[in-house]
Amino acid sequence: MRQETREIAGVNVTLSWPTDDDLIVKGVTFLLPGSMVSISEYNGLRDVLIEKDHLVVSFFINVLWPFFDNHQTQARKVRAIFDDLVSLYQNLPQLYSVVGHSVGGKIALLLTAVVDPSRVGVVLALDAVDTNPVQFTNEKGGNFPLKGSLEHVDPPTSGTAANVPPDPDSALQSKLRNIPIVLTCTDGGLGIPKNHNAEAIHRFNSTTTTFHRDEHAGHMAYCDNGGGWAGKIMPDIGTKEGNANARKNAQNLIRQLL
């Protein structure tokens, strides 16, 4: 594995390559951490993605800035980073996958719902949380649909794609393409309301998402070391065995999906 940190589209990004040979890359996956959680907490998931010969792209997610429209801003960062990546590395595929935990999972859903559905290939949202604001689990309606539709798509703001006119044939294919969306849910933790957790997201999108429950696991179960300092403010309600099983299940889902 070769790892480098560089600025892409104005974002400090960590790139993990399968080998020194860029041509070996078979896919691109954004590995999005939970709120204020170090990306090093997901090295176990990263290693499984590397096994699949994927370029793994990660960056720290600061949910405190910007104060408004934070989650969609983070999703637009992903889109802009991929715009620049495919310009920098001509051999990369035109679709990317997203594995996200907690708020990273919600950002993954925003990408496939409204921000960049034409280029998202697979989504694995680990214990996604739909809060601040609620966009997928509002009982009164008005939720974003998880269908891979091009409705409400934001136009690219940077990179080569911003200057390329849309391809009608490509748009049609995107509308017809089913995007695999897999949600997992744990027993939760402090500040995760059940009416806005991953199970609730699945309930609103039962025909277009697949759902897996990780029993006896806490919200930070997918982290290698409990989420670091961010995990310390969220009491771990999972058992040691339940947390370990959740991490193993997430790794197996990656192997199955990619």
Cis peptide before 93 (omega within 30 of 0): no
Fold observed for domain 2-257: Rossmann fold (3.40.50)
Per-residue model confidence as pLDDT tens digits over 2-52: 999 999 999 999 999 999 888 889 999 999 999 999 999 999 999 999 999
- pTM for the model stands at 0.88
Q: Residues 6 or more apart from 68 whose CB is under 8 A from it?
A: none
Instruction: State residue 131's pLDDT score.
Output: 95
212 and 183 Cβ atoms separated by less than 8 Å: yes
Quick check: 235 pLDDT over 80? no
**Confidence at 236, pLDDT banded by 50, 70, 90:** confident
Residue 6 tokens read as 């560089």
Could you tell me what percent of the chain has a pLDDT over 90? Answer: 78
Distance CA 132, CA 2 (A): 36
Q: Residues 6 or more apart from 4 whose CB is under 8 A from it?
A: 14, 15, 17
Could you tell me what percent of the chain has a pLDDT over 70? Answer: 88
Q: What is 85-154 written as a DSSP string?
A: HHHH-TTS-S-EEEEEETHHHHHHHHIIIIISTTTEEEEEEES----SS--S--TTS-PPP-S---TTPP
Half-sphere exposure for 147 (CA within 13 Å, toward CB):
12
115 and 127 Cβ atoms separated by less than 8 Å: no
Q: Looking at the DSSP assignment, which residues form a beta bridge with residue 125?
A: 100, 183
One-letter amino acid for residue 67 of the chain: F
**Confidence at 163, pLDDT banded by 50, 70, 90:** very low
Mean pLDDT of the chain: 89
Instruction: State residue 188's pLDDT score.
Output: 87
